[in-house]
Structure 1
Amino acid sequence: MMSDTNRLIVLYGSQTFTAQEVAERIWRKTKILRFKGPVQAMDDYPISRLIQEEFALFVCATTGQGDEPDNMKKFWKFLLRKNLPANSLVKMKFGVIALGDSSYSKFNFVGKKLHKRLIQLGATPLLNIALCDYQHDLGHDAVLIPWTKEFFIKMQDYFPNQTTNTLNTQFIPRWQVSLIKNEDCQNGHNLNKDIYYANGLRDNFLNTHHLEVEQNSRTTHDTHFQDVRLITFRTTEDDKVDYSPGDIFNIRPRNSDEDINDLFDIFDSHNIDIKPHYRLLVQECHDDMPVPDFLKEPLTLYELAEQYWDLRAYPTQYVFSLLALVSDDKLERDKCMELSSPEGQEDWLNYSRRPKRTVLEVLHDFHKSTSKLTIEIIFELFCTIKPRSFSIASSCLTSRGTRIDILVAVVKYYSKLKKPRLGLASNWLKCLRVGDKVYGWIKMGSLKFPTDTKTPQILIGPGTGLAPFRSLIQDMAYKGLAHKDVLHLFFGCRYEHKDFHCREELLRLVEEEKLSLYCAFSRDQEDKIYVQHKIKEYSQDLWHLINDKGAYIYISGNAKNMPDNVREAFIEDVFSKEGKLDLDQAKAMLASIERDGRLQVETW
């Protein structure tokens, strides 16, 4: 069978813009193969046209407790309409790429739901769903690259004249870019505006607030290795915020002066004529890849380097394919080609991902290739800075909608490289000073607390996992509903006197009998004690709360080992030991509680 059109739509649902970037990568392949069709957020696509589409590729992330991203909600709601005939999409052949993280219990839940629903509406999958896992050594690419290759091979059944042999040999820019080398703004005018919101631009689904830093204090002792910040943002009286316990604060970080200066020093050292005050004109060159609103006004290269390009990102294999494209040094070009090839994935892992080497460090290492960079390649070389999400750590009620607190662990660690690895967002937040202005927005969180305020709540939040529970506790205290029989907080850290966040506040609430607090200080004694050990210690009380009082369980914090260890403690020490259940029954009970929404997890 051969179609009479070469239209292929690529629709994405993205919470952190990763799905959008994947969709744009696929779009490059569609252009090389001469397919036509839009690349759009699902909610931006005119869904009434869907029944006419013959070929579609969907890229979607999963958020919260298995929820769809904001820019997919309208699309998904339409697909769920009961009055849609079962043959609505009978013309469509499709593929679904799901982007997820297997450390979450509802791994790729949205992608799986979408794949199933499309089949229910009569569409035919060209391939089984791609379940991409960020936890894999290769990240999402471990599944994405071979799956995408197979997808376009399947498309050849319908378009036999298309060949996939050239997929990795052509450079397809998203937009046409050119430099405006005016000398009028060398003094730095307008270099500190926010490129996303300075002109009143807004994302369709975001309610953005202009905030001022009121406080930025360290909650850990100066001698402690980990710097954790409690940061308070203040709004204006006419721009109050509205949020509930469990909600999320989003903010887009900026690059450091050190990294920005390094970038322009690289340009200078190679005599690349790109100056901070030059402006970049971005114009449309493909009908199906419109220029975003905030890029339509020419921006200075400084603004792009500060706010748009992620200078601390770890370079993908695509970065090395771009360097190979411009390099005229055989040794470097061959190495870049190897690092960008499927056969060179292990070398790419060892060079780039495992040591967390940044894209700027790569430009230093491959200096001969770097010297040949053009503005067209540079613009595609860097991925964009993505917004970061933080659980709100305060109650909206206590400040009457004028303040937001977040609790931030500053990321600094060492790999085999000499220079420390620094998290972009946390180190930028750390350096914010009182009075600094930023833009941020609030999103409804995934944690849902019981409407019956007398229902006991077991809150397990070691480290910065305390944040959403501090919001809840403050909220209930303000309403006069906080009580030690209702709020049971399990907090863990290393040392009682070094990293016990909000210590005085929590101990005061205990004294006032508004909170029951169970602390695990892992390094204050020879044997390490974690929150799961405290769960075992108080297993009898917890069984009574869960079995007799209908308590809810909430887990918040680092996704690495803690959530699984806590689950095991409830299964083995609470349900099995105290509930007299065998292991299978105990696991079934935990699963049942989770299905009913009485166990909820928010980890990062």
Structure 2
Amino acid sequence: MIPVGFLKKAQLEVPTSQAPSWLKWAALGAAPVVAAYLLRTRGKKDDYETDFDSFLVTKGSTPTGVVTSKKGPESGPFEGFLKDSDEDQRDPAVFSTFLKSSHVNTKVAAPDVAHSAQLTAQKERPDPSMVKILVLYGTEYGFSKEIAERLASSLKETKQYWPTVVDMATRPEGYDFSKEQAALVACSTQGDGVPPTEARDFCEWLFAGKAGDLSHLHYSVCALGDKSYTHFCKCGISIDESFSKSGAKRVAARQDVNKEDWRAVNEWIKTVLTGLPSLGLKTIEQLGGMIDELSSSVDSAPAVKRWGKSRPYPAKVTALEGLCAVTNAEDKNTFRVEFDLGDSGLAYLPGDALGIYPTNPIKVVDELLSVSGLTGSCIVPVPNHHYEEPGMEDRPLKMTLTEALMKCYDLRSPKPDMLTMLASLKGQSHETLAKLKVLQEDNKALEAYLAPRHVADVLKELVPAPAVAVLTATELLAVLRPLQPRLYSISSSPLENPKAVQATIAEVKYQSLGSDRIGVCSTYVSERIALGDTALVFMSKNPDFRLPQDRSRPIIMVGPGTGLAPFRSFIKQRLLEDSSKGGQMVLLFGCRRSDQDYLYGSQLEAWSQSGSITLLTAFSRQQAEKVYVQQRLRENADLVWRLLHEEHGHFYVCGDASSMAGAVEAELLKIFQSKLGEDASAADEYLKKISQEERYQRDVWY
């Protein structure tokens, strides 16, 4: 019910003789919004006040009303979308550059520009004097795709190169590089350092050295990640190393990009474009290539038709139950949801995640329509990033604006591009423009401003009053992010029922700017679907969070709250395999109270009483003194050391990374230091050792 990619970008035309280099590169990033807002023909003056004024005079680093949010699993841009977080991780650094852009092309790209772009590309024919360049990308949330498209546009603008853009997801069996001279790669990292979901097969093929001898190939990699996480840019780094080991030569050094840092991306593109001419690459004519074979700059290979993120499976809801004792509708609950996988062929292993496509609440959609002055019944194009709808060979090209806002666009996380577009409105007051200037000159202020606000909040504050149709639907949709699926750790075992899958989902409810907020996907499950309904799902593999292959190895699992989910899967899997041959299983679980949010409490207690698991609980609010899982870890230091050191066990952590995961690791290091009888550096080395042996694994989010 929502998209998996991004809108293609319109191009700006910046005369090279009139603009400095920084402006040329910044201009590329502003294309979709600047081109859209230049079509504006009318606007009204903003004559009302909002809380923005008080925000501007706030002296602290975080304004009143900004909530602390959770992010998704480790690494990559937009990771806040995972695990149903409250906000994403946006890098606003490029905003001030956007506002300075000029000399733009006023041709507008509609939201379905990608469709027409592909058709146009198929009609284009390269000049035989051009050099063919492979542009390869692997993406989870569309950022790598944006980079690939921008790079392809930059290559074509030189009139020297003919780029062919290829999505790794369409090449699960690998790629024949024998006919390529240069490959430029953009790839993100997700989870605990793993490749994007649909690019995983390609990456594993490459990492295994199956590409063969690549000594003829020149390449460069733009690796995307998030410095907040342990395995920053791991996938891109591995791609870079794999090409190098196969004999390929770098055109430019690998660029590691933190979040959505377009400045770093543009620097990489600039370096690549500078390096290509010196390689002596042969033209299409010199290689004897047929022009007709290269008449499209869009990869023409058909995508592999299988259920996945871009083609989710419509699964029926077969179970939906609350797991907490709640007394009123305002209390947050946690739900167990089960889906019937039917004959889809979808398979998973313990440790994997279930992807769910939500819809935005109609209340949020109606609010946005109200403040924008747009009519929900107006017809708009289906964006190119929309998933492939089940049972339809060709998706419809149009839908109502209401449907598009419900299924296709993120209404919570405004982009800096939106403020750029709003700054262009005719009739903007000097006061509003002054406010925008503050944000233009202070990236931290911009980030603090956007973080707690939904798209409707920004429009309320910065669209000229009265709130009538001062925006067109095309202009609004062009500056919205795609609505992303959410990932939830699977809490069932395929041995129990291979045609069913369960997830454990906690409702997200909070306040921001004095308004009640809810998690898009968590409340989609708890409020907007029911037994018998269908939801669109897919499997997200997580090979770095797995049970030991040797079932005799003991396992220690730390999972408070919904961090319990994958460990319920682990325990079920081992018990169904053959509990008599399995190593000891120790579970450390924590929650507030045993009579309130003890998830699967009766099942855990039954397993404990039967001797199937060793259960250590920490109920933080059940007594005067707060107790957490790290305290239980400290109390059982001898057991932990014996299982890890003497019996070569595995240690797992799942849950909150902002405090719990760090506290658990700190306690683990204290245990190591105490048992080793050495200094802290020895404990660090021991932790590094068991990590390299894949005996210390984490699935955590902020």
Check if 1:304 corresponds to 2:429: no
| Cα distance in 2 for residues equivalent to 1:205 and 1:382 | 19
CA contact (8 A) 1:490 1:534 kept: yes
Structure 1 segment 157-172 matched on structure 2, within 5 A: 157=274
| Cα distance in 2 for residues equivalent to 1:292 and 1:441 | 12
| Cα distance in 2 for residues equivalent to 1:6 and 1:335 | 47
Cα drift, residue 158 of structure 1: 6.5
| Cα distance in 2 for residues equivalent to 1:436 and 1:290 | 24
What is the root-mean-square deviation of aligned Cα atoms in Å?
A: 3.6
Check if 1:59 corresponds to 2:183: no
Give the corresponding residue for 2:262.
145
1:513/1:237 CA distance change after superposition, 3 Å:
same
CA contact (8 A) 2:555 2:586 kept: yes
| Bigger Cα displacement from structure 2, 489-498 vs 365-374 | 365-374
Of 114, 138, 146 in structure 2, the residue corresponding to residue 13 of structure 1 is: 138
| Cα distance in 2 for residues equivalent to 1:32 and 1:423 | 42
Check if 1:569 corresponds to 2:670: no
CA-to-partner distance for each residue in 1:391-434, whole Å, 9 max, x for gaps?
11122333x2343221112112234x111332211122221323
Q: Secondary structure at the match of 1:37?
A: strand
**TM-score for both structures, normalised by structure 2:** 0.68
Cα drift, residue 524 of structure 1: 2.5
The amino acid of 1:531's aligned partner reads: V
Structure 1 segment 2-81 matched on structure 2, within 5 A: 5=130, 10-21=135-146, 23=148, 37-44=163-170, 47-48=175-176, 52-54=180-182, 56-67=184-195, 69-74=197-202, 77-78=205-206, 80-81=208-209
CA contact (8 A) 1:19 1:61 kept: no
The unaligned stretches of length 5 or more in structure 1 are: 133-139, 161-199, 284-288
CA contact (8 A) 1:462 1:490 kept: yes
Structure 1 segment 45-194 matched on structure 2, within 5 A: 47-48=175-176, 52-54=180-182, 56-67=184-195, 69-74=197-202, 77-78=205-206, 80-81=208-209, 84-85=212-213, 87-90=215-218, 92=219, 94-103=220-229, 105-120=230-245, 121-132=247-258, 140-141=259-260, 144-154=261-271, 157=274
CA contact (8 A) 1:554 1:600 kept: yes
Check if 1:552 corresponds to 2:552: no
CA contact (8 A) 1:282 1:298 kept: yes
The amino acid of 1:364's aligned partner reads: K
The amino acid of 1:113's aligned partner reads: S
CA contact (8 A) 2:194 2:542 kept: no
| Cα distance in 1 for residues equivalent to 2:199 and 2:478 | 24
1:214/1:291 CA distance change after superposition, 3 Å:
closer
CA contact (8 A) 1:332 1:366 kept: no
**How much identity, in percent, do the aligned residues show?**
21
Q: Secondary structure at the match of 2:568?
A: helix
The unaligned stretches of length 5 or more in structure 2 are: 1-127, 278-304, 390-394
CA contact (8 A) 1:98 1:112 kept: no
Cα drift, residue 258 of structure 1: 0.3
Check if 1:455 corresponds to 2:553: yes
| Cα distance in 2 for residues equivalent to 1:565 and 1:423 | 26
| Cα distance in 1 for residues equivalent to 2:177 and 2:509 | 48
Give the corresponding residue for 2:485.
387
Check if 1:315 corresponds to 2:441: no
Give the corresponding residue for 1:589.
686
Q: Secondary structure at the match of 1:509?
A: helix
| Cα distance in 1 for residues equivalent to 2:700 and 2:212 | 36
| Cα distance in 2 for residues equivalent to 1:348 and 1:8 | 37
The amino acid of 1:548's aligned partner reads: E
Highest RCO, 1 vs 2 (Cα 8 Å, sep ≥ 6): 2
Of 419, 431, 453 in structure 2, the residue corresponding to residue 357 of structure 1 is: 453
1:31/1:266 CA distance change after superposition, 3 Å:
farther
Cα drift, residue 50 of structure 1: 7.7
Cα drift, residue 521 of structure 1: 1.6
| Bigger Cα displacement from structure 2, 515-524 vs 43-52 | 43-52
Give the corresponding residue for 1:167.
none
Q: Secondary structure at the match of 2:410?
A: coil
| Cα distance in 1 for residues equivalent to 2:604 and 2:164 | 52
Of 424, 429, 432 in structure 1, the residue corresponding to residue 520 of structure 2 is: 424
CA contact (8 A) 2:147 2:186 kept: no
| Cα distance in 2 for residues equivalent to 1:86 and 1:52 | 9
Q: Secondary structure at the match of 1:255?
A: coil
CA contact (8 A) 1:209 1:441 kept: no
| Cα distance in 2 for residues equivalent to 1:411 and 1:78 | 39
Q: Secondary structure at the match of 2:605?
A: helix
CA contact (8 A) 2:352 2:490 kept: yes
Q: Secondary structure at the match of 1:407?
A: strand
Check if 1:248 corresponds to 2:353: yes
CA contact (8 A) 1:209 1:239 kept: no
Cα drift, residue 388 of structure 1: 0.8
The amino acid of 2:490's aligned partner reads: I
| Cα distance in 2 for residues equivalent to 1:36 and 1:220 | 61
1:207/1:118 CA distance change after superposition, 3 Å:
same
The amino acid of 1:318's aligned partner reads: D
CA-to-partner distance for each residue in 1:360-397, whole Å, 9 max, x for gaps?
21112122297432232222121111111111112233
CA-to-partner distance for each residue in 1:59-84, whole Å, 9 max, x for gaps?
32233454454325325624753673
1:23/1:441 CA distance change after superposition, 3 Å:
same
CA-to-partner distance for each residue in 1:118-176, whole Å, 9 max, x for gaps?
445333343542231xxxxxxx23xx22213423443564699xxxxxxxxxxxxxxxx
Give the corresponding residue for 1:324.
423
Q: Secondary structure at the match of 1:448?
A: coil
Give the corresponding residue for 1:135.
none
Give the corresponding residue for 1:275.
376
**TM-score for both structures, normalised by structure 1:** 0.78
Give the corresponding residue for 2:297.
none
The amino acid of 2:406's aligned partner reads: E
The amino acid of 1:215's aligned partner reads: L
| Bigger Cα displacement from structure 2, 15-24 vs 542-551 | 15-24
Cα drift, residue 33 of structure 1: 8.0
1:27/1:494 CA distance change after superposition, 3 Å:
farther
CA contact (8 A) 2:653 2:699 kept: yes
Q: Secondary structure at the match of 2:642?
A: helix
CA contact (8 A) 1:462 1:531 kept: yes
Cα drift, residue 239 of structure 1: 5.1
Q: Secondary structure at the match of 1:603?
A: strand
| Bigger Cα displacement from structure 2, 356-365 vs 49-58 | 49-58
CA contact (8 A) 2:311 2:387 kept: no
Cα drift, residue 329 of structure 1: 1.8
Q: Secondary structure at the match of 2:699?
A: strand
CA contact (8 A) 2:559 2:655 kept: yes
| Cα distance in 1 for residues equivalent to 2:342 and 2:204 | 36
| Bigger Cα displacement from structure 2, 537-546 vs 146-155 | 146-155
Q: Secondary structure at the match of 2:596?
A: coil
Of 335, 349, 356 in structure 2, the residue corresponding to residue 230 of structure 1 is: 335
Cα drift, residue 469 of structure 1: 0.7
Give the corresponding residue for 1:173.
none
Give the corresponding residue for 2:505.
408
Structure 1 segment 381-530 matched on structure 2, within 5 A: 381-398=479-496, 400-415=497-512, 417-431=513-527, 432-446=529-543, 447-481=545-579, 486-530=584-628
1:346/1:252 CA distance change after superposition, 3 Å:
same
CA contact (8 A) 1:327 1:333 kept: no
